Amino acid sequence: MGPAPLTCHALTGEPYLRHPPVEAEIREALAIAPKDWVGSTGRSPLWRLETLVHLIRLRARDNDNRLLGALTFAFLEAAKPTVERWSRGFGPADTEVIEGLVGDRLVALVLAELPTRTSEYLEIDAKTVIKQATLRVVSTFKDQPKAHAFKTTVQDEDGTLSPLVENLPGGGLDPLEHLLAKESSQERGVFRRLLLAVTDPRHREAFILRKLRNWPYSNPDPAVPTLESRFGIGERQIRTWINTAIAQMRAAHGADQ
């Protein structure tokens, strides 16, 4: 016995089809009793995410709340690394709120009463839908800098405080420019680690959108998204933000050396 076919179509008009390994795994599950879909510990064996979605939907249809709970637990546990991957750079409290909202969104998609392209795509490539759901929540989450997160001074061994900017490595080739110009994945990794050294998420976002995503500061055409419209401030202040981000990254890079 095989699973019922999906009902939606891609933008190209092609019908949605599960990948063969998923179809095979669902057949394997349907060949055994539902109670054996999860182990005695309450954790599912290693079903694929897409298979778990299908099995959860079957249990929901049959009002089997016990197995529904166990399968949902397994699905969300396996989904967690993808949620983490696309919700980085937030503090613990914000992260918990974001993850709660993503969990609710995923559950609503898994248990959608009427199939949509997004809900059905969970049975084709669940990680892409999890990524989409996470980014949707993150995109609605207002970054607010935490006052305690700002570090504008450093303390030396004698306890003397001095402005952070005085501790930046000076002269010669800017190490950030050097890293930005490099293509090797190892150095890209260093650069991306430095991004997390930027304490104000708005500064980090301004830096990334300008330097990596080519957003303009301003544009005479109001239809074109710009950094000024994104942040609601002028170019001069955005440049200050970006320079602050660069200074913090440069300091972090200097500390790494």
Which of 99, 123, 238, 244 is close enough to bind other proteins by CB under 8 A?
A: 99
Quick check: 165 binds other proteins (CB under 8 A)? no
C-alpha pair distances (Å), 241 with each of 95, 202, 254: 24, 8, 20
Quick check: 255 binds other proteins (CB under 8 A)? no
Assess contact for 209 and 215: CB atoms under 8 A. yes
Which of 108, 180, 181, 255 is close enough to bind other proteins by CB under 8 A?
A: 108
Which of 30, 34, 48, 115 is close enough to bind other proteins by CB under 8 A?
A: 115
DSSP-derived secondary structure for the chain: --PPPP--B-TTSPBP---HHHHHHHHHHHTS-GGGGS-TTS---S--HHHHHHHHHHHHHTT-HHHHHHHHHHHHHHHHHHHHHTS-S--HHHHHHHHHHHHHHHHHHHT-SS--HHHHHTTT-HHHHHHHHHHHHHHHSPP---GGG---EEE-TT--EEEGGGGS--SSS-HHHHHHH---HHHHHHHHHHHTT-SSHHHHHHHHHHHTT---S--SSTTS--HHHHHTS-HHHHHHHHHHHHHHHHHHHHHH-
Instruction: Give the integer Cα–Cα distance in Å for 155 and 113.
Output: 58
* Residue 110 vs 247, nearer CB to other proteins: 110
Which of 117, 164, 165, 217 is close enough to bind other proteins by CB under 8 A?
A: 117
Q: How far is the CB of 133 from other proteins (least distance, A)?
A: 9
Q: What character string, x for contact with other proteins (CB under 8 A) and - otherwise, covers 198-227?
A: ------xx--xx--xxxxx------xxx--
- Binding segment for other proteins (CB under 8 A), chosen from 47-55, 138-146, 234-242, 244-252, is 138-146
Quick check: 237 binds other proteins (CB under 8 A)? no
Using CB under 8 A, count the residues that bind other proteins.
79
Which 4-43 positions form the footprint of other proteins (CB under 8 A)? Answer: 7-11, 13, 38, 41-43
Quick check: 173 binds other proteins (CB under 8 A)? no
Quick check: 125 binds other proteins (CB under 8 A)? yes
Which 46-85 positions form the footprint of other proteins (CB under 8 A)? Answer: 56, 60, 63, 65-66, 68-70, 72-74, 76-77, 80-81, 83-85
* Residue 112 vs 165, nearer CB to other proteins: 112
